[in-house]
Amino acid sequence: MAVGEFDLIAKYFARPVRRAVLGGGDDCALLQPTRGMQWAVSTDALVEGRHFLSTVPPDALGHKSLAVNLSDLAACGAKPVAFTLSLTLPRVDEAFLAGFAEGLYALADAHDIELVGGDTTAGPLNIGITVMGEVPPGQALRRGGAKPGDELWVSGRLGDARLALEAFRGQVSLRGEAFEDVRRAMERPQPRVALGLALRGIASAAIDLSDGLVGDLGHVLRASAVGATLRLADIPHGVHVAACSEAQRRTCLLAGGDDYELLFAAPASAHARVRDAGARAGVPVACIGTLDAEPGLRVVDTHGAPVALTERAFDHFISG
């Protein structure tokens, strides 16, 4: 049975709208922005082999597709409001659609946001999401506000997603519960929305970690025209990354990719307020370095001795 575009969208994605004035099914969705608020917008597409493996369960893919976009709103300290979905599918696979919609909506519901527009087309699998959120004028976290002397912080723990990728690639051997642990980090990242909101007025700059610590920190340093000293031993990680060889651990921590944690700077005087923001958001935060007037990135070991840096950004365009 041929199921047309309209039926497909309706069956798995149509829901009554709640806050939106008009939801999907017309030419446009209509939203009423809260008076005086700024509108934060971000878009990210997910492509098989770049952002996810063919082995990913559909519900995890639905979750991750929205999660990586919400992570961008989190990095701006914006409160998520709505999103659109543009889904290109090789075929009408109802089991896939049902699972994908389930994972997508579970995360949308957790953040109380609505799907307000959709588009489904036949073609190689491609998942495009645009998220919209609100932030009071002047309060958005940006990449460009870090100052020399600020402390550098990161949320959660890094490297598990990259370790899972290495395990899928057969580069490391992980079994049973250990494999499931890191696989969960790769397939079901938790966007740090509550932390982003809690850091408004505290953090001087922020970015979400999608391409690895070194690469994404580089964006902050360039935008803020500062340098940084990063303490390798203070980068938070789990037991599976700790059990790796030193070279593998450095790859996972410095060039991981897909961490979807927040990297942010804050004045040293705000140290306790940052800890408090993390506690309120229920997310561990770790101070991993300082920002310097001297340009460039310096990585130091537990003794403060310099560590030569060979890692670069995890680039979804170039690498696999």
Instruction: Specify the amino acid at residue 220.
Output: V
Asked whether residue 159 is marked as a ligand-binding residue, the answer is no
Which residues are CB-neighbours of 32 under 8 A, at least 6 positions away?
Answer: 21
Is residue 177 a contact residue for its own copies (CB under 8 A)? no
Cα–Cα distance, 296 to 309 (Å, whole number)? 11
- Known binder of ligand: residue 200? no
The count of residues interacting with its own copies (CB under 8 A) is 71
Q: Is the Cβ of residue 92 or residue 110 nearer to its own copies in the bound state? A: 92
55 annotated to bind ligand: no
Residue 136 interacts with its own copies (CB under 8 A): yes or no: no
Of the residues 1, 16, 137, 246, which one makes contact with its own copies according to CB under 8 A: 137
Dihedral pair phi/psi, residue 14, rounded to 5°: -75, 130
181 is an annotated ligand-binding site residue: no
Residues in 36-55 at the binding interface with its own copies, rule: CB under 8 A? 36-45, 47-51
Answer yes or no whether residue 317 interacts with its own copies by CB under 8 A.
yes
Q: What is the dihedral sign for C-alpha 307, 310, 313, 319?
A: negative
* By the rule CB under 8 A, 266 interacts with its own copies: no
Side-chain-side CA neighbours of 36 within 13 Å: the count stands at 3
Do strands 306-307 and 285-292 pair parallel, antiparallel, or not at all (unpaired)? unpaired
Q: According to the binding rule CB under 8 A, does residue 310 interact with its own copies?
A: no
Q: Does 33 bind its own copies (CB under 8 A)?
A: yes
DSSP code for 287: E
Q: Which amino acid does the sequence have at 205? A: A
| Cα angle 141-142-146, degrees, rounded to a multiple of 5 | 100
State which amino acid sits at residue 17: V
With CB under 8 A as the contact rule, the residue among 16, 124, 170, 304 that binds its own copies is 124
Among positions 1, 2, 95, 272, the unique one binding its own copies when judged by CB under 8 A: 2
Tell whether residue 182 is a contact of its own copies (CB under 8 A): no
The answer for residues whose C-beta is within 8 angstroms of residue 305's C-beta and 6 or more apart is none
Contact string 217-246 vs its own copies (x = CB under 8 A): ------x-----------------------
Check residue 156 for interaction with its own copies (CB under 8 A): no
Binding positions for substrate are 51, 258, 314
